[in-house]
Chain A
Amino acid sequence: MPNEKHQILSEPGGTFDRRTFFVKLGIGSLGIAAAGTAVFAYQFLSPNVLYEPSPVVNAGKPESYPMDSVTLDVNSGIYLIHAKEGFFALGAVCTHLGCLTTWKPELGIIACPCHGSKFKRDGEKIEGPAPKPLPWLRTWLSDDGDLMVDRGAPIRPMEFLKV
């Protein structure tokens, strides 16, 4: 009987017969295939090329920003602020859940319409639910004398750009 033969061959002692070998081979290759599929799925679902706007924004000539002004560019989501110490740029996207905040000139604060977070003009948090202050963004003058802001490059606060 084939069963008897099967039992004889798979005696204890470390060796296993052909059938066990193929079962293990099958399960092993299925496992490898499943892991490969997971990797492929992750790579496929993460786009390699994005058609999103550049993080570097040209904010125009410094002269167009009067002293003590806070200017929100809604398209790029940044504030350009001309303070006494110099220029600086703040990310206008709320650090809570990503809504676009707005400058309230009558109160002198930045406020978020979604969940009521409030920030000072230098990005410091006044009240939550935002967990972090608004980030300062790297700002420099281009060769043409335009103010440039990199939205993807946060810097330490209080680093003003003197013009």
Chain B
Amino acid sequence: MAKTVDQYFDDLRDSRVWRSVFRSGTGSSTLKRSLAIQQNIFLHLFSTKVRRRMLSFSATWYLGTLTFGTFLILVLTGILLMLYYHPSVPQAYADTKDLQFVVSSGLFLRNLHRWSAHAMVFLVFAHMFKVFYRGAYRPPREFNWVIGIVLLLVTLLLSYTGYLLPWDQLAYWAITVGSNIASAVPVFGDKIHFMLLGGNLVNANALLRFYVLHCMILPLTAIFFIAIHFWRIRKDGGLYAHQGEPATLKQAAVAKEAQ
């Protein structure tokens, strides 16, 4: 008798190579499925069990996941853009124009990076409002709300530092204005301004500093806090459900009919 596709997958999962990588073993028992999540370095941040209702669109509108999705797009397109961009005064603007008009798919990648950045800022705010109006920030989730605020600030700083990199008039004056806002900090304002720009003017040092912040320091900070943010969902008892919110949509429908 010919094997079914499922049987081929079962054979694959039973092979020595597969089992050396995924140690939870085959089978679809609750235990095996829990182990598959728990023993995966990326998935172990998440809960092994989720209320089915929480996976429906209406519970979260998937705003957090979509934000993370735009972040992944930004990391990917950003790394590709770095291959053609030199963070130096004579080259930055010319490289941006090359990306726009000369490099194959450069226009697409740059636009994708730009629009994903706008989308990420929008989605971060939407996610924040959704969490707020659902009341999902309340104990025991108040610390994860704080982590979320840190991530909001990192997102805005990523937008701000990326703004300078095209090195056009808009970038130059936006960063001149923005960095002068930092000077308004009491006592240390001028020192912060000087350290941020690496000088008194938006110049070569400022371009390089913003590049390093944009491509290294801030993305690593974001990844660090995103990991904590995801892990805390599990630690704080999974995605927030209202008291008495049914575990599945089916139960919700039954309850509605009974009324």
Residues of B within 8 A of A98 (CB): 176-177, 179-180
Residues of A within 8 A of B198 (CB): 45, 47
Assess whether A52 is in contact with B176, with CB atoms less than 8 Å apart: no
CA gap between A96 and B205 in the complex, in Å: 23
A30: Cβ under 8 A from any B Cβ: no
Assess whether B176 is in contact with A45, with CB atoms less than 8 Å apart: no
Residues of A within 8 A of B173 (CB): 99, 114
Instruction: Report B184 CB to chain A, min CB distance, Å.
Output: 9
As a 0/1 sequence over residues 68 to 101 of chain A, the CB contacts with chain B under 8 angstroms (1 = contact) are 0000000000000000000000000000111100
CA gap between A106 and B204 in the complex, in Å: 37
Assess whether A51 is in contact with B204, with CB atoms less than 8 Å apart: yes
How many interface residues does chain B have, given as a range? 10 to 19
Residues of A within 8 A of B200 (CB): 50, 52
Which residue on chain A has the smallest CB distance to residue B199?
A50
How many interface residues does chain A have, given as a range? 10 to 19
Which residue on chain B has the smallest CB distance to residue A131?
B184
Residues of B within 8 A of A51 (CB): 203-204
A54: Cβ under 8 A from any B Cβ: no
Instruction: Report B26 CB to chain A, min CB distance, Å.
Output: 50
Residues of A within 8 A of B179 (CB): 98
Assess whether A52 is in contact with B201, with CB atoms less than 8 Å apart: yes
Residues of A within 8 A of B180 (CB): 96-98
B55: Cβ under 8 A from any A Cβ: no
Which residue on chain A has the smallest CB distance to residue B202?
A98
B181: Cβ under 8 A from any A Cβ: yes
B82: Cβ under 8 A from any A Cβ: no
Instruction: Report B218 CB to chain A, min CB distance, Å.
Output: 16
CA gap between A42 and B177 in the complex, in Å: 24
A46: Cβ under 8 A from any B Cβ: yes
Residues of A within 8 A of B145 (CB): none
B194: Cβ under 8 A from any A Cβ: yes
Residues of B within 8 A of A42 (CB): 195
Residues of A within 8 A of B201 (CB): 52
CA gap between A52 and B173 in the complex, in Å: 17
CA gap between A99 and B204 in the complex, in Å: 18
Which residue on chain B has the smallest CB distance to residue A95?
B180
Residues of A within 8 A of B204 (CB): 51
Instruction: Report B234 CB to chain A, min CB distance, Å.
Output: 33
**A97-B205 CB under 8 A given contacts A47-B199, A50-B199, A52-B199:** no
Instruction: Report A91 CB to chain B, min CB distance, Å.
Output: 13
Assess whether B177 is in contact with A46, with CB atoms less than 8 Å apart: no
As a 0/1 sequence over residues 18 to 58 of chain A, the CB contacts with chain B under 8 angstroms (1 = contact) are 00000000000000000000000010011100111000000
- The 18 sampled A-B contact pairs (Cβ below 8 Å) are A42-B195, A46-B191, A46-B195, A47-B198, A47-B199, A50-B199, A50-B200, A51-B203, A52-B201, A52-B203, A96-B180, A97-B181, A98-B176, A98-B179, A99-B173, A99-B176, A99-B177, A114-B173
- Interface residues of chain A, those whose CB is within 8 Å of chain B, are 42, 45-47, 50-52, 96-99, 114
Q: Shortest 6 CB-CB distances between A and B: which pairs?
A: A98-B180, A97-B177, A97-B180, A98-B176, A45-B195, A50-B199
